[in-house]
Structure 1
Amino acid sequence: MTYLNNVRDFFVEVIDGRLNVLLLANSPHPDLAVWKSALLSQRNYEVDIRMASDMSLDQLKKYDLVILHQLPSVKNPIPTILNELDKKGTPRIFVAGYQTDLNALNQAQPFLNILAGGNRTPNDVTMVLNPSFNLFNLTDDIKTKLPAFSPLISPYGEYTAAPSAQVMSFQKIGSVDTQYPLIVMGEANDKRTCVIAGEGIWKWQLFDQLQNGSRDITYEVLNQICQYTSTKSDKRKFKVTSSKRLYTELEDISFQGELYNDSYELINTPEVSIRIKNKQGEEFDYTFNTSGQSYALEIGRFPEGNYSWTATTEVNGVKLTHDGKLVVQPIQLETLETTADHGLLRQLATMYGGSLVYADQISQLGDLILGDEHIKPILYSSTQTRPLIHLKWLCIILLAALSLEWFLRRYYGGY
């Protein structure tokens, strides 16, 4: 009987809460529904759709990412909203279209400049992926299929990307590949921004469903863009992470570390140490090893429990620290099943050339052993040597016999 299997500890790792995303539009548009469906497919986002004319500054406070669809426009220049987003440092995605005020868009972000031409007729453009783009990875399947998707409607004009911008794709107008950016991204003042110079993503979804039987490619691309834009860059010079936050007591614990100089270049000459502390206050100190341009440490297995850690280094007299926590959970497989698993025992016996015998079949055990050709009779022999001096009784007998012989010879005149 055991009480151990009546209690189980469950460990839940909460990585991040959901991000609040605002789809702020100049006017109703089918693109908005596609953006919302794509984001909600990941379950990492809470999405609201609002018209710019109905939006107040107080409502902006809760949002972690704002997608501005055809904004700013002549009808809704939204200068106060843009200023509020700047003050808060909220990342944003601009989706430019026919209603976008291009001059206002140029002033609202530093990564793409569109010089509007006299012709107001927009272009139908497809996508030419930039092989040098490296902010995130697209699968080979997406890279192959995405350029064939339905064209977007892009404002007419001359497009120039800033040197600090990363161009994800260029415009293909008709059959002509151009150097006009279609999707650009960048970061300035610790705030990430993306500009998509085309509306009509709703047609991507229809094409994706028709050609591929799902909307996965459309959703994956939009989610990748949102994930990059909404992620805050980490500018710390000293970073240490554990490979996991939740371990079992049978898993080895490891850490990785990065250290940057003032030019934000990786260095690994200073020594990096780490102190791990358990719930009872016991402390364990380790020193990192260098690994390439970074640091690495393997500390093996730890007993179950909650641990906190603090990594420390010093660069040019300045002490840098990074701390965190990890949990080691127990494994009690034996207590989860208290009934003998005869099926498993039979499999093990068969695997290793044995047999399963129940209590009422114990009489068969002898025959099974004798009839098993793999079991051979074994004769063991051993030899032991003992010094004669240790056999006292034998020494006494020999001494008595010699003494008797000497006496008899002396008595009968043998000497």
Structure 2
Amino acid sequence: MILLFINPKTKSVVLENTKPILTVLVDNSVSIPFFKEDKEIRNIIYNIKNNKELVSKFNIKEFTFGNSLQVLDLLSFTEKETNISNAILTVNELHKDKIAPIILLTDGNQTIGNDYEFINSKQPVYPIVLGDTTLHQDLKISQLNVNKYSYIKNKFPVEILLNYDGNETVTTQFSIYRKGKTVFTEKVKFSADQKSKTIIANLISTKEGLQYYTASIKKIEGERNIKNNTKKFSVEVIDEQTKVLILTSVLHPDIGTFKKAIESNKQRSVDVLLVDDFKNQIIDYQLVILYQPNNKFNRVFSQLKQQNSNYFVITGANTDWNFIHKKQLGFTKKAINQTENYGAIYNDSFLTFLQKNIGFNQFAPLKDKFGEIILTKEHQTLLFQNLNGVQTEQPLLTTFEQNNQKSAVLFGEGIWKWRAASFLSSNSFQEFDEFLGNLVQYLASNKKRNRLEVVTNTIYPANSTIKISAFYTDKNYQFDARASLEITLTNVNTKEITKFPFSLINNSYQVEIENLPFGNYTYKINVKGQNINKYGRFFITDYQVEEQFTSANHKKLSILAEKSGGKLYYKNNTDNLLKDLLRNKSYHITQKSIIKQQNLIDWKWILFIVISLFTIEWFIRKYYGKI
């Protein structure tokens, strides 16, 4: 009985054998059947799985990869993208601190992700090269850069990077077409020494709306793959003319900054006047910028109110805050005569228009009179004030929208320093000019703000996943997570109509659509229960990214194998790979001892015996009628 209460424990040492892991990574992209290697890859996997010595030595784990890593279930070879580096690094993380060599079955052609040639794999990689390793002559459009928008009757640049694989000297022709008509052409020459060429084509926007173009390089003799000779692109042509008036009470470098940044868009013009010299009517302008207003701006503010015109106020050391308070503009400041420097903090919850963070928090502070700002109208703040390294809830740049009148206010002078800092960090004024351009475009537009905004591309490659995001707000322009959105797609060629619901992901509605055939599509996105719709269109090309390659990239795979401590093999000598893996003594079974504690008396068995005895006794008593 005493033993039952004490229940002493015993210790035993158990040896556990752990086999090394052999990871098999299989390229499941459409480039494998394009090279006619799908049957070969299945044979290699069969030989690995059915090699008894290999199974005895290794714990074999199989994965497929396209744009992400998956456990091998079914080889479909339908992945539209290939990310070799991600597959290797993910397996490295899965088998961290283990002996786990990797067999990589691929053609070596990667379409997305970091270049696997430069990754550091902790596990040795043994690539098996699939596909044709013979170098064929090939021309391709490797990259095409163009702005999404252009203004009517303006020139817009298209940058095209052409590449040549081959050793002979060849001459061909590059062209750009719109609706079957040639809008640009140029002869190009390649050789063994000059294998790439960049072309800049300046096209003219002649028609408003979404315009599709086709860039194409003429095939050369002996070229086998011409699918990468053509690339489509689109440009949204906007018919917009904007006149901006800057009225100032002082001479300041900010004035020149505003003029240069706004006029970087050729569809916008800026007039600059001292307020004393202004005699005209503001009705001639879509936006009026008021720089450091004082009582001399009285007539201007009267016109703004009378005509319900949009305006942008910039305050600073020379601003007359008593005058501003009298005008009841929706903001006041308990200002004193002392000035303060205010840094910028980007607000990623800003909803009025799309504006990325261009490094606002790194820019020099702006100068304004010290005091608390009070906002009395509904507003959206893009930038908050950073006061001596402390983030505050005080606005630095905020927007207002009331009764179809738009306005904004920047609480500080010295924005010229921002443009200079932006140039130093990016070697271009583009980011800063786009920031001011976005603000001016919003303020200068008389269009009512949309409650439903959609983000989508105008061109998608064949067999790609169509990703569309939508942002929906309530009547107060706050994100509304209660809505139900649906997209209706119409194939312009076949007239086939399909519908898909949106899913709520974080602070946006998203839908992903797969397996759409190539062609033109129109779409309608509607909010159920609301008379709110958004229309648009996109084009799916018949060109697949995975089909741009003419041969396997055995050179990069060889570098990967050498760097990781593995070795390169070809599909016809996979037997040698299996033999080398079996002979390699560094891939060995490891043993570790595990100490197990066990109770001397097993309560489970005692409980079972006691219950069994009580049960037998009950049946015996029942049988003899003693119960």
Task: Tell me if both proteins adopt one fold, taking TM over 0.5 as the criterion.
Answer: yes
Q: Secondary structure at the match of 2:413?
A: coil
Determine which of 342, 346, 353 is the counterpart of 1:127.
342
Return the TM-score normalized by structure 2: 0.42
- Tell me if the contact between 1:73 and 1:99 (Cα under 8 Å) persists in the aligned partners: no
Structure with more strand by fraction: 2
Q: Which amino acid aligns with 2:403?
A: N
Q: Report deviation, 1:331.
A: 1.4
Residue-by-residue CA offset, 1:169-193 (whole Å, 9 max, x unaligned)? 4596x99999986554433234442
* CA distance, structure 2, for counterparts of residue 107 and residue 29 of structure 1: 25
CA contact (8 A) 2:345 2:360 kept: no
Match of residue 380 from structure 1: none
**Bigger relative contact order (CA 8 A; separation at least 6):** 2
Alignment match, 1:12: 234
Q: Does the CA-based 8 Å contact 2:282-2:304 persist in structure 1?
A: no
Name the counterpart of 1:60: 284
Output the CA distance in 2 between the equivalents of 1:131 and 1:83: 30
Larger Rg: 1
In structure 2, distance between residues paired with 1:175 and 1:263: 32
Q: CA deviation at 1:274?
A: 3.2
Number of the residue aligned with 2:535: 323
> CA–CA distance in 1 between the matches of 2:482 and 2:302?
46
**Preserved CA contact (<8 Å) 1:152 1:198:** yes
1:280 aligns with 2:493: yes
Indicate the residue corresponding to 2:517 in structure 1.
303
Out of 314, 317, 328, the residue aligned to residue 95 of structure 1 is: 314
Structure 1 or 2: larger helix share?
Answer: 1
- Residue 406 of structure 1 corresponds to none
Q: How does 1:191-270 map to 2 (within 5 A)?
A: 191-202=405-416, 208=421, 224=435, 227-228=438-439, 230-231=441-442, 236=450, 239=452, 241=454, 243-257=456-470, 266-268=480-482
* Aligned twin of 1:33: 256
CA separation in 1, counterparts of 2:418 and 2:522? 48
**Counterparts in 2 of 1:23 and 1:57: CA distance versus 1, 3 Å:** closer
Check 1:323–1:131 CA distance in 2 against 1; reply closer, same or farther (3 A cut).
closer
Contact kept, 8 Å, 2:517 with 2:540, in 1: the verdict is: yes
Residues 298-327 of structure 1, C-alpha deviation per residue, up to 9 Å, x if partnerless? 220322221111234542xx6543321111
**Residues 17, 44 of structure 1: 8 Å contact kept:** no
* TM-score, normalised via structure 1 length: 0.59
Q: How far apart, in 1, do the equivalents of 2:269 and 2:472 lie?
A: 37
The one-letter code sitting in structure 1 at the alignment partner of 2:463 is L
Aligned Cα root-mean-square deviation (Å): 5.3
Q: Per-residue deviation at 1:236?
A: 4.6
Pair 1:50-2:266 in alignment: no
Q: 1:204 to 1:284 in 2, by over 3 A?
A: closer
Question: Residues 34-53 of structure 1, C-alpha deviation per residue, up to 9 Å, x if partnerless?
Answer: 22344567x58734232143
User: Match for 1:86: what amino acid?
Assistant: N
Q: Does the C-alpha gap of structure 1 residues 37 and 180 become closer, same or farther in structure 2, counting only changes over 3 Å?
A: same
Identity %: 19
Contact conserved, 2:384 with 2:393, CA < 8 A, in 1?
no
Q: How many angstroms does 1:95 deviate by?
A: 1.5
| Residues 97, 153 of structure 1: 8 Å contact kept | yes
Name the CA distance, whole Å, in 2 between partners of 1:203 and 1:112: 25
Q: Could you tell me which amino acid in structure 2 is paired with residue 277 of structure 1?
A: T
- Secondary structure of the residue aligned to 1:78 is helix
Residue 228 to residue 10, structure 1, CA distance change in 2 (3 Å) = same
In structure 2, the CA distance between the partners of 1:158 and 1:15, relative to structure 1 (3 Å rule), is same
SS in 2 for 1:303: coil
Gaps of 5+ in 2: 1-221, 562-567, 580-627
3-state SS of the aligned residue for 2:313? strand
Task: Provide the rounded CA distance (Å) in 2 between the counterparts of 1:2 and 1:178.
Answer: 63
- Give the length in aligned residue pairs: 338
Measure, in 2, the Cα distance between the counterparts of 1:349 and 1:176.
53
1:252 Cα offset (Å): 0.9
2:106 matched to which residue of 1? none
Is 1:70 the counterpart of 2:286? The answer is no
Give the 3 Å change call, closer, same or farther, for CA 188–182 of structure 1 in structure 2.
Answer: same
CA contact (8 A) 1:205 1:215 kept: no
Provide closer, same or farther for how the CA distance between residues 184 and 279 of structure 1 changes in structure 2, counting only shifts above 3 A.
closer
Verify the 8 A CA contact 1:169 1:181 in the aligned structure 2: yes
Could you tell me how far 1:112 is from its partner in structure 2? 1.6
Give the unaligned 5+ runs of structure 1.
356-367, 377-415
TM-superposed deviation, 1:12 = 1.9
